[in-house]
Structure 1
Amino acid sequence: MRIITKSDTSRRRIAAVGMYDGVHAGHKFLIDYLRLEAGSRRLTPAVITFSHHPLSVVRPLEAPGLLTTLEDRMRRLGAAGAEDIIILSFNDRLRNKSAREFLSMLRKSYGIDTLVLGFNNRFGHDRPQTTEEYRKIGEEVGVEVIPAPEYRGPGAPVSSSLIRRHLLSGEPEKAAEALGYNYNLRGMVVSGQRLGRTLGFPTANLKPSDKEALIPKPGAYAAFVVTPDGERRPSMVNIGFRPTVTDGEGQGMLSIEAHIFDYTGYLYDEEVVVEFVKYLRPERRFASTEKLREQLERDAAKTRKAFVAPL
């Protein structure tokens, strides 16, 4: 896998353009098709993606939380079979290119001979609406444009925006089916108020490593936590504002706390990964910390049961 961030015509390539956030089942299907076409044309299979989500430039207030960091996206694209990954910076200059100018740039700067047009994919500020329009424009600039078939596998229809909706609705199982893996969140373990320890449930308090990462719906989850030793450990995770125990200064601040079952290692200032498996319940305020402790015991029992059953 090669990462390309500047003009490179050392290979003749077949490529597909997209954000590829999450590198979900539909993306993998597209890359499989890309590789198949690359073999018959003797071209290098490449994907063209962007360093930041286009909406962060076009309509910043509407930019979504991301399913993968750029680093994770590159790793997953490579694992899916992309030999070259071309990273473009989505800026005003790029956003104002017409489809013709964009295709011409891909050929001249990156050696793209063939472009696979993903299902429902559009590009160029003029937004041609049909594959035939893109095909004619491509002919004029020397790029063959071919359509990709629609993904109809497990979880279909699949899109990054739909996966985000699943996660924001407390449906990590549906997100996992579409992604092909559990949605995960990477973060540094930071010091907290240590109230979990007094309740018998010590927690690792996470600060997400990527400020653009999507935070799932607040509530309690069954999850895996991948500790620095690489072990995936059954855990109970709470996302929320801790209404029972938070007052004054900490009020209104979202917290992500993971209780890792049967683990006593030191995690402060270490990076861990939380894999969300099952939504248990929404966050709520309890009449006392004792009532909260009783609920945590019920959550723990439900979580352990979830990990005994097939996940």
Structure 2
Amino acid sequence: MQVVRDPAQFPFLGQAVVTSGTFDGVHLGHQKILHRLLEVARQSGGPSVVITYWPHPRLVLAPPLSHPQPLDLHLLNTLDERIEKLREYGVDYLLIVPFTREFAELTSEEFIQQILLQTVGTKKLVIGYDHRFGKNREGSFEYLSQNADRYGMEVEEIPREDVDAVGVSSTRIRKALQAGDVQTAHRHLGYYYPFTGIVVRGKQLGRTIGWPTANIEPQEPLKLVPARGVYAVMATTAAGTHHPAMLNIGVRPTVGGDVTQTVEAHLLDFDGDLYDQPLTVDFVARLREEQKFEGMEALKAQLALDAQAARQHLIGG
């Protein structure tokens, strides 16, 4: 997949089969659009193109945080995660349009002319049900269909019944993760929810009780962190090795508590130095809520039970 981050550098294709959207999460609903995009591209012999935007439009257009109902700015994917998921589907080209306030002012007609036609060379556009584009979301499938001949471009919309049958949205996934329901998120995403960060030095309290942890500092500050609690996760190191692990999200109340929330993983049957390296964890199951224990012995006993439960979820024993 060729990734282009500047529309001015995109190679004009002429017969492109295109879809457009934020694709936050690249979930099952998005995957339905991608499958159809690739199917049409194979039938027509044209290259497949995904147009996406960064930063997420919500981050640019959101009201101030003092607004009585601020928008949820948490993201399901970092840009790198989104790129890799789209690459897995075999898309030929990915155009990442820098989303600015100036870009948001483009009318639907300007977007069609400047991006779809002049920049990409779109021959056929495949979009999801009720997809909107252009200033104030004025553009629609109906507008495109009515002007298709003028543009010399075919337009196909994924039917509403197909979208409803999937029953998936980024909002539903976000709510599931915020409740700690990572298994529902997994069903809607079609893959385990990932979280990547750099391993930094913490208080190293886990090491003193025989349960050393990797303190993960997120690479993307706006990446959604699931609800506080203890989870079974699969950890992937910078070297590409995979390890079953248990992970705690919270403020460590038993050992005095932290002001800020931490994300800490204990890799089972692992002995090595992870400091200053990236570590990715895929959330498989939530084991329990974070809780305060009466003392260190009680905490250690629970950690042993957590490790056993994590093994059962991850490796069956």
C-alpha distance in 2, partners of 1:261/1:91? 44
Cα shift at 1:76: 1.5
Give the secondary-structure state (helix, strand or coil) at the position aligned to 1:223: strand
Cα shift at 1:259: 0.7
Cα shift at 1:154: 12
Aligned partner of 1:276 in structure 2 is: 283
Aligned partner of 2:226 in structure 1 is: 216
- Counterpart mapping for 1:110-121 below 5 A: 110-121=120-131
Counterpart selection for 2:79 from 70, 77, 80: 70
Contact 1:187/1:272 (8 A) holds in 2: yes
Between stretches 106-115 and 203-212, larger displacement belongs to: 106-115
Aligned partner of 1:307 in structure 2 is: 314
C-alpha distance in 1, partners of 2:39/2:237? 38
Between stretches 160-169 and 184-193, larger displacement belongs to: 160-169
Cα shift at 1:125: 2.1
Report the TM-score, using the length of structure 1 for normalisation.
0.91
C-alpha distance in 2, partners of 1:92/1:237? 39
Note closer, same or farther for the CA distance 1:70–1:295 as it changes in structure 2 (3 Å cut): same
Aligned partner of 1:226 in structure 2 is: 236
C-alpha distance in 2, partners of 1:284/1:17? 44
Cα shift at 1:291: 2.2
Note closer, same or farther for the CA distance 1:154–1:101 as it changes in structure 2 (3 Å cut): closer
Note closer, same or farther for the CA distance 1:68–1:189 as it changes in structure 2 (3 Å cut): same
Between stretches 155-164 and 106-115, larger displacement belongs to: 155-164
Give the secondary-structure state (helix, strand or coil) at the position aligned to 1:239: strand
C-alpha distance in 2, partners of 1:86/1:52? 13
Aligned partner of 1:204 in structure 2 is: 214
Listed as ranges, the gaps of 5+ residues in structure 1 are none
C-alpha distance in 1, partners of 2:181/2:296? 28
How many residues are aligned here?
307
Contact 2:130/2:141 (8 A) holds in 1: no
Listed as ranges, the gaps of 5+ residues in structure 2 are 66-70
Contact 1:154/1:177 (8 A) holds in 2: no
C-alpha distance in 1, partners of 2:182/2:164? 15
C-alpha distance in 2, partners of 1:32/1:123? 21
Letter in 2 for 1:81: G
C-alpha distance in 2, partners of 1:151/1:258? 41
User: Is 1:11 equivalent to 2:13 in the alignment?
Assistant: yes
How far does the alpha carbon of each residue in 1:183-207 deviate from its partner, in whole angstroms, 9 at most, with x for none?
1111111111111122221111111
RMSD of equivalent CA atoms:
2.3
Q: Percent identity?
A: 35
Cα shift at 1:9: 4.7
Between stretches 130-139 and 85-94, larger displacement belongs to: 130-139
C-alpha distance in 1, partners of 2:198/2:264? 11
User: Is 1:97 equivalent to 2:100 in the alignment?
Assistant: no
Cα shift at 1:63: 4.7
Cα shift at 1:153: 9.3
Report the TM-score, using the length of structure 2 for normalisation.
0.89
Contact 1:20/1:27 (8 A) holds in 2: yes
Give the secondary-structure state (helix, strand or coil) at the position aligned to 1:280: strand
Contact 1:29/1:151 (8 A) holds in 2: no
